[in-house]
């Protein structure tokens, strides 16, 4: 596959798209600490809603690291943001997550693209999206049990 091709992943979730979106943007509740800059001090993820909002990795010592800036915020439908975590080149890629109603729930479709000659060398680090998203279904189930 050429380095410029987006990485794609589909995930079925047993909730409506609005609830799937809310669970997804609660990144700190389900993101695997192994996929952070420092798993030993990782304490969560802060998401500032809306275009121009930031996504930041938080640490126990009070420090934070920018993951990206939100470029599209449509609750229940779509979220897109730049992504700089683990980019040795310093050139961001782009993550687009869409939510579509399906019988019995919704389909989350993740597309990690924005690869170009300046950041293509970083692309191979991002083939573990299935592992990264593995915590999301459990977060969705927890959210359903709170109702």
* 77-93 confidence digits (pLDDT tens): 999 999 999 998 889 99
What are the C-alpha distances in Å from 120 to residues 8, 123, 125, 135, 147?
16, 5, 10, 27, 43
With left for phi above 0 and alpha for psi between -120 and 50, is residue 27 left, alpha or beta? alpha
Alpha carbons within 13 angstroms on the beta-carbon side of residue 68 total 23
Are 14 and 62 in contact by the 8 Å Cβ rule? The answer is no
Q: Are 63 and 53 in contact (CB under 8 A)?
A: no
**Per-residue confidence (pLDDT) for residue 146, from 0 to 100:** 55
Give domain status of residue 108, yes or no. yes
Return the higher-pLDDT residue of 142 and 26: 26
Could you list the residue range(s) of the whole structural domain that residue 117 is in? 7-142
Determine the straight-line distance between the first and last CA of the chain, rounded to whole angstroms.
Answer: 44
Average pLDDT of the residues in 25-48: 96
Res 43: pLDDT: 97
Q: Assess if residue 84 is contained within a domain.
A: yes
Asked if residue 1 is part of any domain, the answer here is no
116 within a domain of the structure (yes/no):
yes
Which pLDDT band holds residue 144 (cuts at 50, 70, 90)?
low
Model confidence at 36, pLDDT cuts 50, 70, 90, reads very high
**Cα dihedral: 29, 33, 34, 39 (round 10):** 180
DSSP structural state of residue 15: S
pTM: 0.92
Structural domain includes residue 67:
yes
- What is the share, in percent, of the chain residues with pLDDT greater than 70? 95
> Which CATH number covers residue 77?
3.30.530.20
Is residue 2, in this structure, part of any structural domain at all? no
What is the tally of structural domains in the chain? 1
Could you tell me if residue 147 is inside a domain?
no
Average pLDDT over residues 88-117: 96
Q: Answer with the residue of higher pLDDT: 146 or 120.
A: 120
Task: Identify whether 62 is part of a domain.
Answer: yes
């Amino acid at each position: 596959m050429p380095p410029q091709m987006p990485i794609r992943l589909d995930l079925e979730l047993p909730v409506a798209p609005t609830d799937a979106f809310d669970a997804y943007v609660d990144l700190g509740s389900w993101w695997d600490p192994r996929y952070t800059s420092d798993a030993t001090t990782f304490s969560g993820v802060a998401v500032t809603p809306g275009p121009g909002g930031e996504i930041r990795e938080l640490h126990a010592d009070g420090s934070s690291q920018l993951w990206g800036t939100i470029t599209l915020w449509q609750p229940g439908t779509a979220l897109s943001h730049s992504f700089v975590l683990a980019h040795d080149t310093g050139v961001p890629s782009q993550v687009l997550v869409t939510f579509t109603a399906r019988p019995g729930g919704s389909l989350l479709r993740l597309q990690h693209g924005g690869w170009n000659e300046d950041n293509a060398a970083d692309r191979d680090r991002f083939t573990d999206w299935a592992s990264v998203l593995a915590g999301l279904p459990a977060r969705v189930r927890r959210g359903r049990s709170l109702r």
